[in-house]
Structure 1
Amino acid sequence: MNLIFKKARLIEPGNSFHNQVIDIKIKNGIIEKISPNIQSEESFKEIELDNLHVSVGWFDTSVSLGEPGYEERETIANGLEVAAKSGFTGIALQPNSNPIIDNQSQIHFVKQKASGFSTELYPIGALTKNSDGNDLAELFDMKNAGAIAFGDYNKSLDNANLLKVSLQYAQDFNGLIIAFSQDSNIKGKGIVNEGITSTELGLKGIPALAEELIIARNLFILEYTGGKIHIPTISTSKSVELIKEAKKKGLNVTCSVAVHNLFFNDEVLKGFDANFRVTPPIRTEEDRKALINGVLDGTIDCITSDHNPIDIEHKKLEFDLAKNGTIGLETAYTALQTILPTDIIIEKLTSGRKIFGLSTLSVKEGEKANISLFTPDENFEFDEKNILSKSKNSAFIGSTLKGKVYGIYNQGKLQLQ
């Protein structure tokens, strides 16, 4: 599709057109011209949207879909449509399907199912066979098949030696190890953050220590082995400090935070809404502010929706019986726009590409057009009718959000809401 985006404000710090209103001419999927005013051409479709902002395409580092095995939660096809309409030109797919994505045939399967969509899918391979934490999966074979990293979704490795071996082994092919951090013994039967709110509600708590202890252990192991590690969805103030210190030492560590951990504190649990039952748990206001500061000072490298669809049979239950997880693709940008500057949001929604070893992008003449389309204007209340996913388990229902995502242009295709 050949088109011209009219009157678009580019958000890309470091680009000579940053924060300027420009026209962008795209021919056969390549940016042919960028100028303050491009003349109309008969063979080019013009796209003009209210207060249009554009940036390099967003990349979500943690998305669960369900297929294969849990198609009632979400399919790959619909999930990629949701991602596109939510502004994401690329997603990293978690391996928590049924069967677990722990071998090259499963990598090939999900890549084949994702072929032809405007949003690109990049599979994460399981770190251990069946994600059971006992034996390493076929890491090198999965890497060759297209896996961009290796981790067991929301499962922490109890076996410290297995993490050591995986970090040593992955260095042979520049593999990235994802190390979710939560001590299962200290967590015990906890389901929410341990604190005043959990005590008031009579819900079993998960101490911040459960996360921090494993992060400290994993960083010690990284210091010993070398290699590179990504710590996903951190949730406590101490976790931010531990990673900041590790970076000062020169360790090759990156981390992410989930949008809902930046947006909510554990006061929201008082309604016993199971959509707020997530992993890691929503923490205190002090933790929330520390996470925001960690984003602003660069300690936290990227922000993820941590999109995790759960069908109604497993979510619309009593709080202590419901499965963990919230969907988040549809609300990622508009929730962040209420708490962070737009430049920072775009940086944190695009920096994951470099962390996961993908080519970095730019809105420049001669480059492939990989673009997210949005506007930061207007507050609105998010409700169930805004949900595009098959599953409706959103923690953001009833929240006041800001801005709007128009869609994306990628793979030579324009996809708008």
Structure 2
Amino acid sequence: MKLLIKSATIIDKSQASLHMQQRDILIEKGKITAIRKSIAAEKKTKVLERENLHVSPGWFDSSVSFGEPGYEERETLAKGLEVAGRSGFTGIVLNTNTQPHPDTGGDIVFLRETAKNHCTALYPMGTVSLKSAGEALSEMYDMHLAGAIAFSDYKNSLNNPNLLKLALLYTQNFQSLVYSFPQEGQLNPKGQMHEGEVSLKLGLRGIPALSESLRVARDLAILEYTGGKLHIPTISTGEAVSLIGAAKKKGLDVSCSVAIHHLWHTDEVLEGFDSDFKTLPPLRDKKEVKALLKGLREGVIDYVTSDHCPLDVEEKRREFDQAAFGAIGLEETFGILNQLFGPEKAVEILGRGRERFGLEKTTIAVGQQAELTLFNPGTEYTLTQKDLLSTSSNSMFLGVPLKGKAYGIIRGDKSLF
């Protein structure tokens, strides 16, 4: 099949002659075969035209949760991948918060086989420890051979320092990446939100910024001792930015990400006790948000993630201290980043990450397999329930004015728009 994209503004800084230029793009059998100012549509060619159409290399998200297996009522793999694609993401890294936890090669094969015919590529992670219990290493090499792209116990912190040491040492044999969630849980037993003025006012148990910086400092010290590749997901404090920046200057192989909601909201939104704003790490105060934005601009923070985490309504509509942590975010990520940084920077941020996981970086060039995101950066709207694509509705951006929306994606001979 031939697909002709008409009059699209290309955003791809790696292609200087095409960047910010309006072009027609012809795709045949999943490959880009022509990029010109005007291409005539031949017979049996599907023509794609949209208002204010922009196209970029496909977006990538390094931290996404669905529900299957075990929590299909939250979101199945099929539905989640559709949500990701319609939100502009051609590739997502799948978290390990399922039941059972993916801790064997067979679990990874199941995830890959279930997702293989979808337009958005799913890259599964395996757990660091058996059943994410934090005691014994999982079958990491078997999972690597089966296609696990990295290893993570999701938001179960690796409390045993020896476990992290062994994981970093062992994965050097096959150059894989280890995630370590940055929270020292003993500093915040039963913590519900950021520890500060707002938590005192509301009478809720706090999670101090110190719990993050202590764990980051410990993990970086272990990384310096062992070597290996470490990723610290969803940091939320300025001190974490400083520690990771210093580690990078020392040459340590560390990367980090920030969740989209930590760049926009502060803990003040919790004054209404709305559990949709309850996340881990918790929303922090204005000082921390400012430090995170600076860390992203300066390149210390490597990636922005949606940290998409669908939850059933019964898990959220409880007393605040009983409600589950987590929020969906795939649909809203571009609309927030576009407001914060403009379309060129937003697209550049959303295109990061593949190389860290050993994947090939995508670009818009003749001869390349098509892996494209189609979007309108000028669409302005206020997010409502009808805009949500996910099975779950636990969004913290309902009622927020957004700018920019994805039309869909093209990956190889598959498309979703």
TM-score range for the pair, normalised by the shorter chain length: over 0.9
* Counterpart Cα distance in 1 of 2:341 and 2:266: 16
Alpha-carbon distance between aligned partners in 1 of 2:63 and 2:380, rounded to the nearest angstrom = 26
Q: How does 1:1-400 map to 2 (within 5 A)?
A: 1-16=1-16, 17-400=18-401
Task: For residues 176-233 of structure 1, give each alpha carbon's deviation from its aligned partner in whole angstroms, at most 9, with x where no partner exists.
Answer: 1011110010121111000111111111110000000000110111111111101000
Indicate the RMSD between aligned Cα atoms, in angstroms. Answer: 0.9
> What is the SS of the residue equivalent to 1:385?
helix
In 2, Cα distance between equivalents of 1:2 and 1:289: 46
Partners in 2 of 1:204 and 1:284 — Cα distance? Answer: 15
Asked if structure 1 preserves the Cα contact closer than 8 Å seen for 2:183 and 2:212, the reply is yes
| Preserved contact between residue 14 and residue 363 of structure 2 (Cα < 8 Å) | no
Distance in 2 (alpha carbons) for counterparts of 1:296 and 1:139: 34
**Letter matched to residue 8 of structure 1:** A
Give how far 1:18 is off.
0.8
Does the CA-based 8 Å contact 2:29-2:412 persist in structure 1? no
Q: Which amino acid aligns with 1:288?
A: V
Matched letter for residue 131 of structure 1: S
Report sequence identity in percent. Answer: 49
Matches of 1:198 and 1:2, distance apart in 2: 57
- Per the TM alignment, residue 308 of structure 1 is displaced from its structure 2 partner at its CA by 0.4
Q: Answer yes or no: is the 8 Å Cα contact 2:9–2:21 preserved in 1.
A: yes
Partner SS state of residue 338, structure 1: helix
Distance 2:12 2:284 in 1: 32
Cα distance in 1, alignment partners of residues 171 and 22 from structure 2: 44
Give 3-state SS (helix, strand or coil) of 1:133's partner: coil
Letter in 2 for 1:348: I
Specify the code of the residue in structure 1 equivalent to 2:250: K
Task: In structure 2, give the amino acid aligned to 1:106.
Answer: D
Structure 1 distance, partners of 2:398, 2:317, is: 14
Task: Report deviation, 1:121.
Answer: 0.6
Give distance in 2, aligned partners of 1:411 and 1:130.
Answer: 35
Structure 1 residue 36: Cα displacement: 1.5
SS at match of 2:24: strand
Contact 1:155–1:181 (8 Å) recurs in 2: no
Amino acid at match of 2:342: P
SS in 2 for 1:125: coil
Q: Which amino acid in structure 1 is aligned with residue 221 of structure 2?
A: F
Q: Which amino acid aligns with 1:31?
A: I
Deviation at 1:341, TM superposition (A): 2.6
Q: Distance in 1 between matches of 2:206 and 2:343?
A: 35
How far apart are the structure 2 equivalents of 1:187 and 1:147? 32
What residue in structure 2 maps to residue 403 of structure 1? 404
Offset of 1:40 from its aligned partner?
A: 2.1
Counterparts of 1:280 and 1:236 in 2: how far apart (Å)?
9
The CA distance in 2 between the partners of 1:244 and 1:150, in whole Å, is 23
Aligned to 1:375, the other structure's residue is in SS state: strand
The one-letter code matched in structure 2 to 1:408 is I
Q: TM-score, normalised by structure 2?
A: 0.98
Residue identity opposite 1:406 in structure 2: Y
Distance 1:99 1:297 in 2: 39
Aligned-residue offset at 1:281: 0.4
How many Å separate the matches in 1 of 2:297 and 2:389?
30
SS at match of 2:304: strand
Residue segments in structure 2 that go unaligned for 5+ positions in a row:
none
- Give how far 1:378 is off: 2.8
Say which is worse superposed, 348-357 or 265-274, in terms of deviation: 348-357
**Structure 2 SS opposite 1:293:** helix
Does structure 2 conserve the Cα–Cα contact (< 8 Å) formed by 1:12 and 1:56? Answer: yes
> Retained in 2: the 8 A contact 1:124–1:151?
yes
Q: Deviation string for 1:54-96 (max 9, x for gaps)?
A: 1111111111111011001110011111111000111111111
* Partner SS state of residue 79, structure 2: helix
The residue matched to 1:337 in structure 2 has which SS? helix
**1:301, distance to aligned residue in structure 2 (A):** 0.6
Aligned partner letter, 1:56: P
Instruction: State the distance in 2 between where 1:337 and 1:319 align.
Output: 31
Q: Which amino acid aligns with 1:389?
A: S
Bigger Cα displacement from structure 2, 336-345 vs 358-367: 336-345
* Cα contact 1:263–1:336 (8 A) shared by 2: no
Instruction: Give 3-state SS (helix, strand or coil) of 1:335's partner.
Output: helix
Segment drifting more, 336-345 vs 290-299: 336-345
Q: Which moved more, 1:41-50 or 1:231-240?
A: 41-50
1:137-172 CA distance string (max 9 Å, x none): 000000000000001011211111111111011001
CA distance in 1, matches of 2:407, 2:388: 15
Paired with 1:373 and 1:386, the residues of 2 have a C-alpha distance of 17
Q: Provide the aligned length of Structure 1 versus Structure 2.
A: 416
